């Protein structure tokens, strides 16, 4: 990940959810390198820096020590939720936004519960690290759907008033538009073929999970879309203030997935799954599409089909051009 500097602080995270690492984000003093605060992704509220200022929008994200009680035993200590991609700072609200990675291991039967705070978008006070709100995007992640995609802060008209929005294209195939002050999901629509859920309930914030596509130990579940590569990987989307559209390198690859029992051995992979990737549904055989997305209405405006996966980011310019790279 690229560290983010704000004033006298540098914010950094770690990778390693596939090794059973316990994720965190930390603030370092820019002059001395001294750690000023550390917020873990799993564990008791004191470790996650959840206190009296924490006001999640949805009941599903409220409760004491959910970073422990939503896990079996002490598995939260190897639970993943690493912070290995983009961080966003809003100087008006003085909030730091980021997403956490998948829960570990990939075998969901080994970790019943929501597995908080993996696959979660956090808003924090950058001065103290205190959590202000959190939204778990994919509770009990059964598909390696990290929530590590960038969170793009924009102010746009929404239902007659200008709102402070946070736009997030998740690996799970849904594009989320949130109120970045409160964590309320305003729109959530599929931007690529996704069959693990039929939609996102805006009242509860929960996905309407298709239980035929939930992975299980010893069961070969076929044709889950998107794959662990995600509907979009870590490569960033771009926003153009000229068009008010987002430009997204989207991936259309699905997976056959069998969860397997695995033991945690420090320093070795902590996966617990056998997977086979395959092209997703497409009349042309395309494995990706470059799309223009309206985050207010939650709809695709146009797309360019690409035969191979898009693993590069997008760039929108003041000259009203947008760029992206292909594997060809």
Q: Give which of 121, 118, 124 is closest to 26, Cα–Cα.
A: 124
Do residues 139 and 147 lie in contact, with contact meaning Cβ atoms separated by under 8 Å? no
What are the structural domains, with CATH classification, of the chain? 4-314 (2.140.10.10)
Q: Give which of 309, 315, 314, 313 is closest to 327, Cα–Cα.
A: 309
C-beta neighbour count of 311 within 10 angstroms: 15
C-beta neighbour count of 208 within 10 angstroms: 10
Sign (positive/negative) of CA torsion 19, 24, 28, 32? negative
C-beta neighbour count of 127 within 10 angstroms: 14
- Tens digit of pLDDT per residue, the chain (328 long)? 889 999 999 999 999 999 999 999 999 999 999 999 999 999 999 999 999 999 999 999 999 999 999 999 999 999 999 999 999 999 999 999 999 999 999 999 999 999 999 999 999 999 999 999 999 999 999 999 999 999 999 999 999 999 999 999 999 999 999 999 999 999 999 999 999 999 999 999 999 999 999 999 999 999 999 999 999 989 999 999 999 999 999 999 999 999 999 999 999 999 999 999 999 998 788 999 999 999 999 999 999 999 999 999 999 999 999 999 999 8
Q: Which of 85, 102, 115, 172 is catalytic?
A: 102
d(CA 22, CA 223): 30
Q: 0.75 cut: is pTM over it? A: yes
| Structure confidence at residue 172 (pLDDT) | 99
Residue 210 appears among annotated catalytic residues: no
CA angle 296, 299, 305 (to 5 degrees): 135
d(CA 53, CA 124): 10
| Structure confidence at residue 296 (pLDDT) | 98
| Structure confidence at residue 284 (pLDDT) | 83
Do residues 315 and 324 lie in contact, with contact meaning Cβ atoms separated by under 8 Å? yes
Q: Which of 18, 61, 130, 170 is catalytic?
A: 18
Q: Which of 61, 114, 144, 289 is catalytic?
A: 144
Residue 306 appears among annotated catalytic residues: no
d(CA 242, CA 288): 25
Do residues 99 and 151 lie in contact, with contact meaning Cβ atoms separated by under 8 Å? yes
Write out the two tokens for 125: 């006070």
Task: Look up tokens 């929108």; give the residue.
Answer: 316
Sign (positive/negative) of CA torsion 268, 272, 274, 280? negative
Q: Concatenated DSSP letters for 91-107? A: TTTTEEEEE---BSSS-
Q: Give which of 102, 123, 227 is closest to 179, Cα–Cα.
A: 123
d(CA 279, CA 252): 7
| Structure confidence at residue 2 (pLDDT) | 87
Residue 65 appears among annotated catalytic residues: no
pLDDT per residue over 48-70, tens digit each? 999 999 999 999 999 999 999 99
């Amino acid at each position: 990940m690229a560290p983010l500097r704000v004033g006298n602080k540098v914010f950094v995270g770690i990778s390693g959810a596939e090794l059973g690492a316990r994720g965190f984000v930390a603030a370092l003093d820019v002059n001395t390198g001294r750690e000023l605060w550390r917020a873990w992704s799993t564990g008791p509220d004191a470790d996650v820096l959840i206190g009296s200022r924490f006001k999640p929008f949805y009941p599903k994200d409220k409760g004491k020590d959910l970073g422990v009680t939503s896990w079996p035993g002490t598995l939260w200590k190897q639970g993943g939720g690493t912070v290995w991609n983009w961080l966003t700072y809003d100087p008006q609200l003085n909030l730091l936004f980021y997403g956490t990675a998948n829960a570990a291991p990939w075998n969901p039967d080994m970790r019943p519960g929501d597995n908080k705070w993996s696959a979660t978008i956090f808003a924090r006070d950058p001065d103290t690290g205190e959590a202000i709100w959190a939204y778990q995007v994919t509770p009990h992640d059964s598909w390696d759907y990290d929530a590590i995609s960038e969170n793009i802060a924009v102010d746009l008209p929404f239902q007659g008033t200008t709102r402070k929005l946070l736009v997030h294209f998740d690996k799970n195939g849904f594009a989320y538009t949130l109120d970045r002050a409160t964590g309320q999901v305003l729109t959530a629509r599929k931007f690529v073929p996704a069959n693990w859920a039929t939609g996102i309930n805006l009242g509860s914030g929960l996905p309407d999970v298709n239980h035929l596509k939930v992975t299980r130990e010893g069961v070969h579940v076929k044709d889950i879309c998107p794959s662990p590569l995600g509907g979009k990987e870590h490569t960033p989307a771009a926003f153009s203030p000229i068009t008010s559209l987002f430009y997204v390198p989207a991936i259309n690859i699905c997976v056959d997935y069998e969860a397997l029992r695995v033991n945690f051995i420090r320093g070795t992979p902590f996966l617990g799954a056998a997977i086979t990737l395959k092209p997703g549904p497409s009349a042309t055989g395309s494995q990706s599409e470059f799309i223009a997305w309206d985050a207010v209405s939650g709809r695709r405006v146009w797309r360019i089909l690409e035969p191979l996966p898009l693993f590069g980011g997008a760039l929108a310019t003041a000259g009203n051009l947008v760029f992206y790279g292909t594997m060809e």
